[in-house]
A = this chain, B = another copy of it.
Amino acid sequence: MTQTPQDTELKTDRSRLRRAHEKGSYDRDSLYAVLDAMPMCHIGYQINGTPSVLPTLQWREGDHVYWHGSSASRAIRAMDGADVCMTVTILDGYVLSRSAFHHSVNHRSAMIFGRPEKVTDPTAKETHLKTMVDMIFPDRWDSLRPMTDQELKATALLRMPISEGAAKVRTGPPVDDDEDYALPIWAGVVPMSLQLHHPEPDPANLQSVVMPDHLSRIRIG
């Protein structure tokens, strides 16, 4: 999934590193690794002049990021052509240090700034939605009841070029003040990860239906 476009450097002056031991990356590979690992994102936008943050799913195709919603959604209408910020965050662990001050969180995050625009061509929309489904649930699309024209009309699709943003990654043990390493205080990391559990079939499934192989290929985080 990783791509290596020609302009690997991303513009950014709005994404800041909050701690010296965080690693900030302005190359596309680092950013794309976070986007491709976690569809869950939070999109900041303005509605009636006030900030709002929408949780939704994103997916990346090349140097663009996509998300969708209801055509009737006020959020989608407010985002179309306006400045937005998309943030993806993956929690990897709690970092427990010897002082309250140096406690931290191991994480991978991506932040992208830009202006999305609607994809309106029905054929293009359907192709992108197929890509979404097949990225999150590998090869599921072809097993589904085909999308109807009405469903396609009811679905709004936004697309945003990835041109300004950054990735941030924090890994490893706590970083304490030099003199605190002599203290008899337990320090370390409590790792965490999002785990997928055994699929629960819909009780309404037909008896003849078996669990498809593609479920075992779902990945997240």
Contact = CB atoms under 8 A, between A and B. Distances in A.
A83 B187 contact: no
A202 B18 CA distance: 22
A140 interface: yes
A114 to B, nearest CB: 10
16 contacts: A14-B48, A44-B85, A49-B83, A53-B86, A53-B111, A55-B107, A96-B215, A101-B151, A145-B180, A173-B204, A181-B204, A183-B206, A184-B206, A188-B202, A191-B197, A194-B195
| A contacts with B: majority SS | mixed
Residue among A70, A109, A186 with max Cβ neighbours from chain B (10 Å): A186
A105 B218 contact: no
Interface string A52-63: 111101000000
Contacts of A180: 145
A192 B197 contact: yes
Contact of A18 (B42, B69, B199): B69
Interface string A142-157: 0111011001001100
A77 to B, nearest CB: 12
Contacts of A70: 18
